[in-house]
Structure 1
Amino acid sequence: MRHARCVLVGVAVGLASLVPAAPAAQPELSATTRQTGLPRTPEQRAVVFEHATLHFKVLPQDRRIQGDATLRFRAGQELATMVLDLDRAYQVSAVQVDGVALARKDWANPEGRMRITLPRAVAAQQGFQVRVVYAGAPHVATRAPWDGGLVWSSAPGGEPWVASAIQGEGCDLLWPCIDHPQGEPLLVDEYITVPAPLVAPGNGVLVDMQEHDGWRTWHWRARSPDTYAVAINVGPYEQLKGEYHSRFGNAIALAYWHLKGQDAKAQDLFDELPRMLDFFERQIGPYPFGDEKVGIVQTPYLGMEHQTINAYGNDYRKDKYGYDWLMQHEFSHEWFGNQLTNADWDDMWLHEGFGSYMQPLYLQYLRGQMEYHAALLDQRAKLSNRVPIVSGKPQTEQSVYDSQHGPGLDIYYKGSLMLHMLRGLVGDQAFFKTIRLAVYGTDDPRPGQFQPRHLSTPDYIAIVNEVTGRDYGWFFQVFLYRAALPELLAERDASGLALRWKTPGEVPFPVPVEVRIGANSGRIVTVPMPGGRGHVDLPPGELYTLDPQSRLLREEPRFAVAVRDAAERKAAADRAAAEKGRAEKGQAERGQTEKAKAAAKP
């Protein structure tokens, strides 16, 4: 790999006047806009989204954008109307269909789903274009990336620093789109116009940059980006550039846009990329967007998996394992999220579970078994097991990520630990073959010979069954479609140890169990469990250890105690903080009262 440093930012003359104004009160999002992943309308299901040409003019001083979107579709059936998702807070000044301006009565957007009456019916297999010109103040993310919207900030030098983070609420916070995982366009041309000399990194490849009248327009082109991955990033960036020579024979451009003043840390982060790429290409397969780039941009919030321009705001912190977990996790989504995309939010564990499993696997690649198992143990302590991670019906993003009413973090860690167990059950060769088939649709992927894919949970189960030649539906029923973990019951009898799997709803669970007989390096026997039951002979009083190699994901009281204790400690800390706040408020109020009394004395 070769590195070259390229400084793209000029002198920040005059930018002080462009620092964002103080935030104003923003309108409440409609229920439609707040939810991403609502079922598509019949019109949205009936089209192929071929091309989006998106023009964004970013006005940092006013915290506004001016948008001009031309969207090309191909109808799968005759259509008289088209429906797009767009936040109703924007003021739409013009709508055109195939260049024909529509009268105001021909479109409406009362709840964030814009219904457009076409000038004439579009025949099946006919292409048509919709243009929407709009402007306004995008919804502000108050707690990005958990809350969606734009982040308006200032770089250390006072220059504007702007970034989008719209996964939680969806693409309609930024542009007129089909706000569903299966609504991604086949091609996007994105034009981002910003005050010069600011820089605007984007998805895909840079076509050109034009500068005129104090403005810069950056033109980026990307194929099949996730709808929420179409990103805006603006700042006084400097760029690190490099090239990675892939094990598959292609050269991949590397780029990191970062703020000035932390050059050594930025270089250190950038130097991690070749090793991460090598890991993923060895373990999974070719980087999916090698003809575009590996891109990272420093953002004023923690991070997000924007295709080929991942948002990074972890402040160069390494975790206890000595690597930048955030960059590695977001980078994993280029495979699990951008190349393989969930068919519905109900299948989001395909992004987060696989992405989370890549972290223990990366530590195994770097340093071996001890840190692999240590990272898995960290994940095990975070499970809640209150709600199944797959419901079997369409879901929105909010319903999946909600830790109070939905699976929440279990889509990350339970998904990861289930994959670890599946790997032990079917073996490495079959396990990694299932991943390649899921991600690429082929067991022998080559750069340029595969397309992005949408996958559902049943699709992945079918792949596992096909690869192994066995029906593993029972396995996924327990871990994906049930909340509680299976429990392994062990009871001594006259001749040894009787084992039984206890599962929610008594679902069959014939997973073999390893038992170590004797202490320390005693012999390990594998106990078959047909019908969920098995037996191993043990001498009276002999020590035994269930699952000595930690292959099984199962209910264990010690983790339940740890989770309960952690929750109690948090609740106690919250109560103490609330009590302290009330005491300080009371003291301040008493102080004000005493001052008032003193002032009132003659």
Structure 2
Amino acid sequence: MSLCAATLAFPVTAFGQAAPPLSERTAQSDLPLDGPRADMLLEHVTLSIAVDPASQSISAEGVYAVIMRGGQSSLAFDLDPRFDIASIQVDGAALPEIAWSNPDGLLSIDLPAPLSAGDNVTVQIAYSGSPHVALNAPWEGGFVWDRTPADEPWIATAVQGEGCDMFWPCIDHSSSRIGTMDTLVTVPDGLIAAGNGRLVETVENDDDTTTFHWSARDPSNYGISLQIGPYELTERLYESRFGNTIPIQFWHLPGNNKDARRLNAEMASYLDFFETTIGPYPFGDEKAGIVETPHLGMEHQTINAYGNRFRPSALGYDWLLAHEFAHEWFANQLTHASINHMWLHEGIGTWMQPLYLGWARGEMFYASEMWRQRQMIGSRVPLVPSEGTLPDYNDREAGWGIDIYAKGAWIMHSLRYLVGEDVIFPALTRLTYGTDNPVPGEIAPINRTTDDFRVILEEMSGHDLDWFFDAYFYQAELPRLVISRGGDQLTMEWQSRSELAFEMPVELRYGGSTMRIPMPGGAATITLPEGTGHVQIDPRNQILRHDEEIVRARESG
């Protein structure tokens, strides 16, 4: 997805008044886990949430089964302080209002008695209010209150950058997963709430509302979402190569049935590709879900938001649908341990797109898409920022929010060249599932860092890769290949900001043959056969390196 600038300074409520901006804490995700948040394991959450399109407000109650990892005299949740908290109960006992406070987005709850490691406690939080309106979903997130072409309510949430605390009390950190979660969404009659996991039941209430009860296992925090509209459902079944049957379900606006059926067929093709290339679909016991949304898209677990308007493409696939579906593996199954490693989601997921095109339509499509992505790379800041820092996705000058896609994909492209097909794809399987032989029904999400990937690749290739990872992930500038030739002597030398020698081997093509030149210490000199004319360096363009022509074209506008 490309970056877009927000056009509004503040969101506007249903009554035309400027809503307050997000608190500094709520506007950020993945703030360090400390205090009670570090010691709370959310075993189960039941979130009951009533959505009122007329007032653009919600009324909700969250019930949390918490297991303590350590001793604490208080609990803490992340929650946007714009919400009014009506009550909090601990193990069924109501707390006095003085027992909790939420001045900045960290909801602190004083316990009646201290808890020890291993203790279980049930917390019930009732709250209500008008959630933050998205400035430019999905890049600047919140609630989207829109209308369909038939002027019916069309509502969505997109909170990846800012976090789950924008509309429900949670632990807003990538490493904090929930065991199981039931979401009961109540909406006016005539609307449908498409949700995470599997649909348990639909209840028609006596007050002209309907409640949709969804149940999900192992959901990520920002992957919990609301999508509400006058939806119709198009579905089909996919027979997996792993022996299970996966429902493909698309909730779309009325009139889009034909396009939805076409994209459902595409989804079956994506499933075939991913299960062949990486491994089994992680959530086959629930669904492979899509929902049409008023914003562009987001990888909500088992219910990917789709707003690409069914646009046809000469590439023969829907790039947005393919990208968001890749996140079921690289975001929802493999989850970065902190936002610093977000390239694991976006870069690997982006690389899956040209890989799919090469698998489906041929190598020309792979090469052309890689070239398009290569021109987007800025490399002005490290792809993996220092631990403890929170990179700004929307900082156009830094360009990190673009590099995690394009540079991440190109690093994968170069890794494929360096370690070979027989290593890179099995390594991705192990990285994604924590095992070499994932089996449906035995899969659970796993948190990963960039260094985890390095260790796996080193184990499987038998080679030290510190030099590769330092140069590409922890240094901003791309390595440069300096080439000089005198007669039959050709000298190549890598220059990198890394203190480690960049030892990427280089392919040469001349006289109708191709040879791979090792670069021990980051340099090599070879003697060419007498009379050798033109020599192509890296003829298949497999190495991510500084390209002066791209720089010159970018600077010229």
TM-score by length of 2: 0.95
Task: Give 2:292's match in structure 1, choosing from 290, 298, 304.
Answer: 298
Task: Give 1:546's match in structure 2, choosing from 516, 531, 537.
Answer: 537
Q: Within 2, Cα distance between the matches of 1:509 and 1:21?
A: 57
Task: Give 2:197's match in structure 1, choosing from 204, 208, 213.
Answer: 204
Q: Deviations over 1:403-456 (max 9, x none)?
A: 324622111111110111111111111111110111001111110122100001
Task: Give 1:511's match in structure 2, choosing from 504, 508, 512.
Answer: 504
Aligned residue number for residue 426 of structure 2: 433
Aligned residue number for residue 410 of structure 2: 417
The answer on whether the counterparts of 1:345 and 1:394 sit within 8 Å (CA) in structure 2 is no
Query: Are positions 1:42 and 2:39 aligned together?
Result: no
Aligned residue number for residue 274 of structure 1: 268
The letter for the 1-side match of 2:162 is E
Aligned residue number for residue 93 of structure 2: 100
Aligned residue number for residue 388 of structure 1: 382
Matches within 5 A, 1:191-590: 191-213=184-206, 214-396=208-390, 399-405=392-398, 407-518=400-511, 522-538=512-528, 539-540=530-531, 542-565=533-556, 568=557
The letter for the 2-side match of 1:341 is T
Aligned residue number for residue 3 of structure 2: none
Aligned residue number for residue 112 of structure 2: 119
The answer on whether the counterparts of 1:357 and 1:419 sit within 8 Å (CA) in structure 2 is yes
Aligned residue number for residue 3 of structure 1: none
Identity %: 43
Q: Within 1, Cα distance between the matches of 2:396 and 2:32?
A: 22
The answer on whether the counterparts of 2:234 and 2:257 sit within 8 Å (CA) in structure 1 is no
Structure 1 unaligned runs (5+)? 1-19, 569-602
Distance 1:375-1:238 versus aligned 2 partners, 3 A rule = same
The answer on whether the counterparts of 1:347 and 1:456 sit within 8 Å (CA) in structure 2 is yes
Aligned residue number for residue 53 of structure 2: 60
Answer 1 or 2: which has greater helix percent. Answer: 1
Tell me the SS of whatever aligns to 1:208: strand
Aligned residue number for residue 9 of structure 2: none
State the Cα distance separating 1:156 from its structure 2 match. 1.5
Q: Within 2, Cα distance between the matches of 1:486 and 1:511?
A: 10
The letter for the 1-side match of 2:544 is L
Q: Deviations over 1:540-590 (max 9, x none)?
A: 56111101111111111111112223xx3xxxxxxxxxxxxxxxxxxxxxx
Tell me the SS of whatever aligns to 2:443: coil
The letter for the 1-side match of 2:521 is G
Q: Deviations over 1:453-491 (max 9, x none)?
A: 000111111111111122101101000001111111111
Task: Give 1:162's match in structure 2, choosing from 133, 144, 155.
Answer: 155
Q: Within 2, Cα distance between the matches of 1:265 and 1:491?
A: 55
State the Cα distance separating 1:255 from its structure 2 match. 0.4
State the Cα distance separating 1:22 from its structure 2 match. 5.2
The answer on whether the counterparts of 2:379 and 2:399 sit within 8 Å (CA) in structure 1 is no
TM-score by length of 1: 0.88
Q: Within 1, Cα distance between the matches of 2:307 and 2:16?
A: 22
Aligned residue number for residue 4 of structure 1: none
Q: Deviations over 1:54-103 (max 9, x none)?
A: 01100000000001001111011221101110000001000111111111
Task: Give 1:148's match in structure 2, choosing from 137, 141, 144.
Answer: 141
Q: Deviations over 1:233-252 (max 9, x none)?
A: 11000000111000000000
- Range with bigger deviation, 494-503 or 220-229: 494-503
Tell me the SS of whatever aligns to 2:438: coil
Larger Rg: 1
State the Cα distance separating 1:318 from its structure 2 match. 3.4
Q: Within 1, Cα distance between the matches of 2:356 and 2:51?
A: 38
Q: Within 2, Cα distance between the matches of 1:405 and 1:354?
A: 21
Q: Deviations over 1:254-301 (max 9, x none)?
A: 100000122222222222111011001001000000000000000000
Distance 1:281-1:216 versus aligned 2 partners, 3 A rule = same
Matches within 5 A, 1:17-28: 21=14, 23-28=16-21
The letter for the 1-side match of 2:490 is L
Q: Within 2, Cα distance between the matches of 1:345 and 1:217?
A: 34
Tell me the SS of whatever aligns to 1:552: coil
State the Cα distance separating 1:226 from its structure 2 match. 1.2
Measured on the aligned residues, the alpha-carbon RMSD in Å equals 1.3
Q: Within 1, Cα distance between the matches of 2:440 and 2:394?
A: 33
State the Cα distance separating 1:193 from its structure 2 match. 0.2
The letter for the 2-side match of 1:550 is N
Q: Within 2, Cα distance between the matches of 1:564 and 1:269?
A: 39
Q: Within 2, Cα distance between the matches of 1:406 and 1:374?
A: 22
Q: Within 2, Cα distance between the matches of 1:469 and 1:49?
A: 39
The letter for the 1-side match of 2:135 is T
Q: Deviations over 1:130-152 (max 9, x none)?
A: 11100000000021111111000
Q: Within 2, Cα distance between the matches of 1:395 and 1:563?
A: 29
Q: Within 1, Cα distance between the matches of 2:103 and 2:401?
A: 31
The answer on whether the counterparts of 1:346 and 1:395 sit within 8 Å (CA) in structure 2 is yes
- Range with bigger deviation, 495-504 or 419-428: 495-504
Q: Within 2, Cα distance between the matches of 1:546 and 1:399?
A: 36
Aligned residue number for residue 587 of structure 1: none
The letter for the 1-side match of 2:120 is G
The answer on whether the counterparts of 2:471 and 2:498 sit within 8 Å (CA) in structure 1 is no
Tell me the SS of whatever aligns to 1:133: strand
The answer on whether the counterparts of 1:345 and 1:400 sit within 8 Å (CA) in structure 2 is no
The letter for the 2-side match of 1:557 is E
The answer on whether the counterparts of 1:299 and 1:312 sit within 8 Å (CA) in structure 2 is yes
Tell me the SS of whatever aligns to 1:362: helix
Aligned residue number for residue 169 of structure 2: 176
Tell me the SS of whatever aligns to 2:401: coil
Distance 1:23-1:336 versus aligned 2 partners, 3 A rule = farther
The answer on whether the counterparts of 2:290 and 2:306 sit within 8 Å (CA) in structure 1 is yes
The answer on whether the counterparts of 1:527 and 1:535 sit within 8 Å (CA) in structure 2 is no
Q: Within 1, Cα distance between the matches of 2:399 and 2:542?
A: 27
Q: Deviations over 1:305-335 (max 9, x none)?
A: 0000000000011344121000000000000
Q: Within 2, Cα distance between the matches of 1:339 and 1:505?
A: 32
Q: Within 2, Cα distance between the matches of 1:488 and 1:319?
A: 36
The answer on whether the counterparts of 1:382 and 1:563 sit within 8 Å (CA) in structure 2 is no
Tell me the SS of whatever aligns to 2:540: coil
Q: Within 2, Cα distance between the matches of 1:30 and 1:241?
A: 41
Tell me the SS of whatever aligns to 2:124: strand
State the Cα distance separating 1:185 from its structure 2 match. 1.1
Distance 1:197-1:407 versus aligned 2 partners, 3 A rule = same
Distance 1:440-1:401 versus aligned 2 partners, 3 A rule = farther
Tell me the SS of whatever aligns to 1:338: coil
